[in-house]
Amino acid sequence: MSVQESYKTLTGAITKSFQEKLSPSEAIDLLQSGHQRFVENTPLKRTRTSLLADAAQGQFPYAAVLGCIDSRVPVEQVFDAAIGELFVARVAGNTVNPDILGSLEYACKYAGSKAILVLGHTACGAIKGAWAGLEDGNLTGLLAQLKPAVETVRAIRSDEASIENIDETVAINVQMVCDRIRQESDILYGLESSGGIAIIGGVYNVSTGHITFLEEGEV
């Protein structure tokens, strides 16, 4: 029985044995097939009672998603994911800091997740703020982390904060964050290098509800 078939036969939460048998590529397939169900409006149905009863015994998420705080991107819903299936970290601009990295390290090294998806989205307010040079309170330091992506787009396209430039910056920022995870976490870099996890990026379109999964180096 394939992973997809096994997943669809689950009546409750993901089990430890199911998680342990997954490869990183199979975890990514689960993310992508779950997103396809979301797009097609054909969600899987499991009883809340069974999910809660199983989850109370432990958690075995197959992947971790680092997303923006934007209210238009309900992460579990976007991947048709049930209770206990995804670790979700959210911060404006889907960037990283030591706390986020520590959370992702826990998710993968200690809790067994097989993939990390950095998920940006179109029309990102944090990216717009970085383009505008917004400085205010704790936002100043946060938005500074997005400026390398802004400067990259300014250099190759224009200084105009157009819709196209903002969305291009979103995609570049996603790839930069993937690279930062590898550079700033020896644990996650080691896990990926040994084939234990995969680190990928994606951009959610807030108008269409579709995710474009980015290949390595693609923007």
Q: Render pLDDT for 67-124 as a digit per residue (tens, 0 to 9).
A: 999 999 999 999 999 999 999 999 999 999 999 999 999 999 999 999 999 999 999 9
Name the pLDDT band for 215 (thresholds 50, 70, 90). Answer: confident
pLDDT value of position 210 = 98
Reply yes or no on whether the pLDDT at 155 is more than 90.
Answer: yes
pTM of the model: 0.95
Q: How many CA atoms lie within 13 A of 165 on its CB side?
A: 17
Q: Which residue, among 134, 116, 124, 135, has the nearest Cα to 62 in the 3D structure?
A: 116
- Tell me how far CA of residue 16 lies from CA of 33, 117, 140, 179, in angstroms: 21, 21, 41, 29
Mean predicted lDDT score pLDDT of the chain? 95
Q: How far apart are CA 24 and CA 182, in angstroms?
A: 16
Is the pLDDT assigned to residue 181 strictly greater than 80? Answer: yes
CATH superfamily name and code, 3-214: Carbonic anhydrase (3.40.1050.10)
Q: Where are the domains of the chain?
A: 3-214
**Helix or strand or coil: residue 213?**
strand
Report the pLDDT averaged over residues 11-26: 94
Task: Give the pLDDT confidence score for residue 219 in this predicted structure.
Answer: 46
Over the stretch 20-78, which tens digit does the pLDDT of each residue have? 999 999 999 999 999 999 999 999 988 899 999 998 999 999 999 999 999 999 999 99
Give the angle 210-212-213 at the CA atoms, nearest 5°: 135
Q: Which residue has the tokens 């089990």?
A: 15
Tokens of 180: 């930062």
Length of the chain: 219
Residue 117 sits at φ, ψ, to 5 deg, of: -115, 120
Please name the residues in contact with 205: beta carbons below 8 A apart, sequence gap of 6 or more: 121, 122, 211, 212
* Cβ-contact 212, 205 below 8 angstroms: yes
Cβ atoms of 109 and 192 within 8 Å: the answer is no
Q: Are 120 and 171 in contact (CB under 8 A)?
A: yes
Given a cut of 70, is residue 216 above it in pLDDT? no
Structural contact between residues 172 and 151, judged by C-beta atoms closer than 8 angstroms: no
Residue 1: its pLDDT value, please?
77
Q: Choose among 25, 201, 32: nearest CA to 120.
A: 201
pLDDT of residue 217: 46
